[in-house]
Amino acid sequence: MEISRRKWIGLVTSLAFTGYAAPALADQSAVTIEAPDQAARGEEIVVKLNVTHSGNSFFHYTNWVHAKVNGKDTFLRDYSMTNRPPAANFSLEFKLVVNQPLEITAEANCNMHGSKGPASKKIGLKA
């Protein structure tokens, strides 16, 4: 009985330590957006999402990247243990046709530590 109590205490202690240490050691996924500041009406543009993260292993990786344009879901890439991103830091691209001013919001998420939050980019119409 004493051995299982020790194991129980050890397990609880290690879980508590992990729970408190994780935020201090966390590496959240982050994304930046590259796109022109302005575009002509009807012009097709390329939007580049640059994702940064420190890990890309079987257990620790960016598990999704998501982008919205004017609040509407536009781009989603999901990853898993067996289908991880190509590297810890990587880029993704998608195309848009500009017919009005646009606001792009993008976010990436680490499967263990979450996201650093959304990034945004506004694209205006050329006169």
Count how many domains the chain has: 1
Flag whether 7 is in a domain: no
Choose between 18 and 75: higher pLDDT: 75
Q: What's the CATH number where 63 sits?
A: 2.60.40.730
pLDDT per residue over 23-79, tens digit each?
Answer: 444 589 999 999 999 999 999 999 999 999 998 998 999 999 999 999 999 999 999
Flag whether 106 is in a domain: yes
Lowest mean pLDDT among 18-22, 95-99, 107-111, 118-122: 18-22
Q: What is the pTM of this model?
A: 0.79
| DSSP string for residues in the chain | -HHHHHHHHHHHHHHHHHHHHHHHH---BEEEEE--SEE-TTEEEEEEEEEE-S--SSSS-EEEEEEEETTEEEEEEE--SSS--SSSSEEEEEEEEESS-EEEEEEEEETTTBBS--EEEEEEEP-
Structural domain of 92: 27-125
Flag whether 99 is in a domain: yes
pLDDT at 24 (0 to 100):
41
Flag whether 19 is in a domain: no
Flag whether 70 is in a domain: yes
